[in-house]
């Protein structure tokens, strides 16, 4: 087992890691950090949750710290991300890991005024985290000069492709110096990303890591068979459980997200909604409230939830099942991050049964059926609360036949015993 010291990470950064309670490197960190400190290019095949951000951020910070201060100069490191939320998150990670270094960074994304971003660019930067659209805009207006970039990261490249950013990326790459160290990270390797990797990386080290147990293995998953009209009551009932401390509720539509958030607010549950119709500022506020615990529940559509990494999400609720089964796996991967436990609860009405079957085929297991509490009115047999606890590590369970009753018992506060 290696330590950050063994990997060659310098003292001020190690101090920051200790402050963040990182005890040991994750597999992608162990493999990528020494190669990057040597100056190699990297092709990293890894998902969020593996610690990929620190895998590139730590060596970049270390290299930047070794260079001269850059007051009044263009950035030496550039990180491109597909979404604004991921950009903010990556910039926050740089700040956290670099807290004992004297480095300047900025984050650029669209949907907000550009004046503060232009000001930041003028003041001189060590690193810049940006989404492609806004960066190109500012480049075209002559505000962003990238002639000094010697370290480049393309994060979540497959999402860039999904979101139609590949042409923008190629235009940005064309404006960068050829002599540089480049890193491309992607959860999957479709042909177009492989081609992009070929063109932008020079003899890269390839590091591929499986997520630390896939979400499907890590997350405790249950499904309620429940009529649409009763989903609202079921959600309220479940949320009486104080163990549901930090909950993301997924809906299929923006309208649905607003409705669920409003209904929760009516019952006194602090909830915020994020979806594509909200302004960037409103989305960021909702996320900040959720991260800080001011909102206990975040109601989200799938697109809005892309790239979001909030620590300590105890439960995912699929208020509506997605019709694309892979989306289910993305959703449940928002809990049980970095070794923590987590639960996913799905509400399935009759019309959604085929979606459930598709999901079970994809995850190659049947999802345990759990009865709704009788107060919610799902039938006379129901006597079971409620949300599975998220404190204990979710067991890796093999495929099981569907069961009608919860197999575990005990350990539940009396207040939760419904009916
Ligand atoms: P990422 O895959 O970069 O999105 O990181 C997933 C989560 O793991 C983030 O919340 C990080 O703060 C956390 N993390 C990354 N590296 C470590 C580590 N070595 N020890 C503990 N947590 C970590």
At 91, is the pLDDT very low, low, confident or very high (cuts 50, 70, 90)?
A: very high
- Is residue 89 within 6 Å of ligand 1 at its C-beta? no
Q: What is the pLDDT of residues 312-324, one digit of tens each?
A: 889 999 999 999 8
- Is residue 25 within 6 Å of ligand 1 at its C-beta? yes
- Confidence at residue 416, expressed as pLDDT on a 0 to 100 scale: 34
For residue 416, the 8-state DSSP code is G
Per the CB < 8 A criterion, the answer to whether 241 and 385 are in contact is yes
pLDDT exceeds cutoff 90 at 201: yes
CA-CA-CA-CA dihedral for 57, 62, 68, 69, to nearest 10: 50
Edge to edge, the sheet with strand 127-130 lists: 105-108, 127-130, 77-80, 151-154, 181-186, 42-45, 205-208
- Confidence at residue 334, expressed as pLDDT on a 0 to 100 scale: 84
All domains of the chain in start order, with CATH? 11-208 (3.40.50.300), 219-370 (3.40.50.300)
Angle among Cα 214, 216, 219 to the nearest 5 degrees reads 100
- Is residue 70 within 6 Å of ligand 1 at its C-beta? no
pTM of the prediction? 0.61
* Tokens encoding 313: 């999400």
Span 83-93, mean pLDDT? 94
- Confidence at residue 213, expressed as pLDDT on a 0 to 100 scale: 56
Q: Which atom of ligand 1 is nearest to the CA of 52?
A: 3
Q: What is the pLDDT of residues 117-174, one digit of tens each?
A: 999 999 889 999 999 999 999 999 999 999 999 999 999 998 898 888 999 999 999 9
Ligand 1 centroid to Cα of residue 54, in Å, is 7
**Atom 5 in ligand 1: which residue has the minimum CA distance?**
51
pLDDT exceeds cutoff 80 at 2: yes
Phi, psi (deg, nearest 5) at residue 87: -60, -45
- Is residue 81 within 6 Å of ligand 1 at its C-beta? no
- Find the helix or strand (DSSP H, E) in which 14 lies: helix 11-19
Q: What is the pLDDT of residues 352-364, one digit of tens each?
A: 999 999 998 888 7
pLDDT exceeds cutoff 80 at 176: yes
pLDDT exceeds cutoff 70 at 405: no
Which position has the token pair 């892979």?
326
Cα(346)–Cα(319) distance, integer angstroms: 6
Cα(165)–Cα(135) distance, integer angstroms: 12
For helices 52-66 and 27-37, angle between their N-to-C axes, nearest 10 degrees: 30
**65-69, 214-218, 262-266, range with the lowest pLDDT:** 214-218
Span 262-283, mean pLDDT? 87
At 396, is the pLDDT very low, low, confident or very high (cuts 50, 70, 90)?
A: very low
Share of the chain above pLDDT 70, in %: 86
Handedness of CA 61, 285, 281, 157 (dihedral sign): positive
Q: What is the pLDDT of residues 274-311, one digit of tens each?
A: 887 777 888 888 889 999 999 999 999 987 776 677 88
Mean pLDDT of the chain: 85
Cα(243)–Cα(238) distance, integer angstroms: 10
pLDDT exceeds cutoff 80 at 78: yes
Q: What is the pLDDT of residues 10-34, one digit of tens each?
A: 999 999 999 999 999 998 999 999 9
Q: Which atom of ligand 1 is nearest to the CA of 24?
A: 19
- Confidence at residue 364, expressed as pLDDT on a 0 to 100 scale: 78
**80-89, 152-161, 330-339, 357-366, range with the lowest pLDDT:** 330-339
Q: Which atom of ligand 1 is nearest to the CA of 4?
A: 19
At 211, is the pLDDT very low, low, confident or very high (cuts 50, 70, 90)?
A: low
Burial of 191 (0-12, 13-18, 19+ CB in 10 A): exposed
Cα(212)–Cα(26) distance, integer angstroms: 9
Question: Pocket of ligand 1, candidates 26, 95, 187: which has the most ligand atoms within 8 Å of its Cβ, to mutate?
Answer: 26
Give the list of residues 6+ apart from residue 402 with CB closer than 8 angstroms, or none.
Answer: 366, 368, 369
Task: Round the CA-based radius of gyration of the chain to a whole number and report it.
Answer: 23
At 191, is the pLDDT very low, low, confident or very high (cuts 50, 70, 90)?
A: confident
Share of the chain above pLDDT 90, in %: 62
State the SS3 of 119-182. Answer: HHHHHCCCEEEECHHHHHHHHHCCCCCCCCCCEEEECCHHHHHHCCCHHHHHHHHHCCCCCCEE
**62-66, 109-113, 260-264, 302-306, range with the lowest pLDDT:** 302-306
Span 341-362, mean pLDDT? 92
- Confidence at residue 365, expressed as pLDDT on a 0 to 100 scale: 82
Question: Which of 100, 109, 145 lies closest to 124 in space, CA to CA?
Answer: 145
At 377, is the pLDDT very low, low, confident or very high (cuts 50, 70, 90)?
A: low
- Is residue 54 within 6 Å of ligand 1 at its C-beta? yes
Other Cβ atoms less than 10 A from the Cβ of 384: the count is 18
Question: Which of 63, 70, 67 lies closest to 106 in space, CA to CA?
Answer: 70
Which position has the token pair 């950013």?
165
- Is residue 66 within 6 Å of ligand 1 at its C-beta? no
Cα(173)–Cα(175) distance, integer angstroms: 5
Residue scoring higher pLDDT (367 or 210): 367
Span 40-64, mean pLDDT? 94
Question: Which of 266, 251, 241, 237 lies closest to 377 in space, CA to CA?
Answer: 237
* Tokens encoding 338: 């970095």
Cα(389)–Cα(386) distance, integer angstroms: 9
Span 252-260, mean pLDDT? 92
Ligand 1 centroid to Cα of residue 51, in Å, is 4
Span 377-385, mean pLDDT? 43
């Amino acid at each position: 087992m290696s330590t950050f010291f063994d990997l060659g990470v310098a003292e001020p950064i190690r101090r920051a890691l200790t402050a963040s309670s990182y005890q040991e490197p994750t597999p992608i960190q162990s493999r990528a950090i020494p190669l990057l400190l040597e100056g190699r290019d990297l092709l990293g095949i890894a998902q969020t949750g593996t610690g990929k951000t620190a895998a590139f951020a730590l060596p970049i910070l270390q290299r930047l710290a070794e260079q001269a201060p850059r007051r009044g100069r263009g950035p030496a490191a550039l990180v491109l991300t597909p979404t604004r939320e991921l950009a903010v998150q990556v910039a926050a990670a740089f700040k956290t890991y670099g807290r004992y270094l004297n480095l300047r960074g900025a984050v650029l994304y669209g949907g907000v005024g550009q004046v503060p971003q232009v000001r930041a660019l003028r003041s001189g930067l060590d690193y810049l985290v940006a989404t492609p659209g806004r960066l190109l805009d500012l480049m075209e207006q002559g505000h962003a000069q990238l002639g000094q970039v010697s370290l480049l990261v393309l994060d979540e490249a497959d999402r860039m492709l999904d979101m139609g950013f590949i042409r923008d990326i190629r235009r940005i790459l064309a404006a960068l110096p050829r002599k540089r160290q480049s890193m491309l990270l992607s959860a999957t390797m479709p042909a177009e990303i492989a081609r992009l990797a070929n063109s932008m990386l020079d003899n890269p080290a390839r590091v591929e890591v499986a997520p630390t147990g896939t979400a499907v293995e890590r997350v405790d998953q249950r499904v309620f068979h429940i009529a649409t009209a009763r989903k609202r009551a079921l959600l309220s009932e479940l949320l009486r459980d104080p163990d549901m401390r930090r909950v993301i509720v997924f809906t299929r539509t923006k309208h649905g997200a607003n409705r669920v958030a409003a209904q929760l607010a009516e019952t006194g549950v602090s909830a915020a909604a994020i979806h594509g119709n909200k302004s960037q500022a409103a989305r960021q506020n909702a996320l900040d409230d959720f991260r800080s615990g001011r909102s206990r529940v975040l109601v989200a559509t799938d697109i809005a939830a892309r790239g979001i990494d909030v620590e300590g999400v105890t439960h995912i609720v699929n208020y509506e099942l997605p019709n694309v089964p892979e989306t289910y796996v993305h959703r449940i991967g928002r809990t049980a991050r970095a070794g923590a436990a987590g639960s996913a609860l799905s509400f399935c009405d009759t019309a959604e049964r085929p979606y459930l079957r598709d999901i079970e085929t994809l995850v190659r297991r049947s999802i345990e059926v759990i009865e709704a509490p009788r107060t919610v009115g799902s039938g006379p047999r129901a006597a079971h609360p409620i949300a599975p606890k998220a404190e204990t590590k979710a067991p890796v369970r093999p495929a099981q036949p569907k069961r009608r009753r919860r197999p575990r018992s005990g350990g539940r506060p009396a207040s939760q015993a419904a009916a």
